[in-house]
Structures are given as C-alpha cells and as structure tokens.
Amino acid sequence: MNKRPGVVSSIALLLLINGILTLINGYRFDANITVMLLGAAALLLSAGMWMLWPWALIGTIILQLIAISYALYDWFTCGPIDFLAMLLGVIIQVYLLGSETCQTFFNKRPIKIANSA
C-alpha cells in the first residue's frame, strides 16, 4: 500500500469538515436534496481519499469542479461571491492533479525521459 502524502490527508480532512458542515447547514436551513447529496458525497469521498481508493480521487476532482462552477455561477449572477470556495477549489484541483497524488492513487511510476544533452 502506498504511503499517503500529507496533501491527500489534508484534502480528506477538508472534505470531512465540508461534508459535515454542508449536512448541518442543509438541515438547519431546509436546503434542497441536491445540497444534502453533495454533503453526503463529500463525506464518502473523504473516506475514500483517506483509504487511497482511486475512485475517490476522480470523484473529488468532479466534486471540486462542481464547487468551482457553483461559485462562478453565483459570481456571474450577482449572488454572494465566495472567493474562498473558488480559491480552495482551484488549489485542491492543482494538488489532486499533481504527479505525486496520481502516483499514490494509481500506483504508476512516472515515465523517465532520457536527457538528450
């Protein structure tokens, strides 16, 4: 089993916190079912990221794309602008798509290219 990078652990914890807060706020403010499903998905993906399951990496990338899209939609429709959500989403995407993270989840080694010099 691969050693979990600190970045992956941090993202798993952020997803856990996000999922819990989304479910609590969704329940408190009687949100629609979509919000509740996104909170539950964040909890499930958090567990998957912690266990280094490959589907969790793909699901987290999709969930972050949804979060960024929603924040941009709010921005362009003059809703409450959540710059923190956009910034965090972009930062998480950069780390998720990094070579160390992909190697950890998919057990693949990078392709070595010989120096041409």
pLDDT in tens, 18-69: 889 888 887 777 777 887 888 899 999 999 999 989 999 999 999 999 888 8
43 neighbors 59 (Cβ within 8 angstroms): no
Higher pLDDT, 74 or 109: 74
The answer to whether the CB of 45 falls within 8 A of the CB of 61 is no
Give how far the C-alpha of residue 52 lies from the chain's centroid of Cα atoms, to the nearest Å: 13
Distance (Å, whole) CA 84 – CA 86:
5
60 and 66 in contact (C-beta within 8 Å)? no
> 86-109 pLDDT, tens per residue?
888 888 888 888 878 888 888 755
Domain ranges of the chain: 6-106
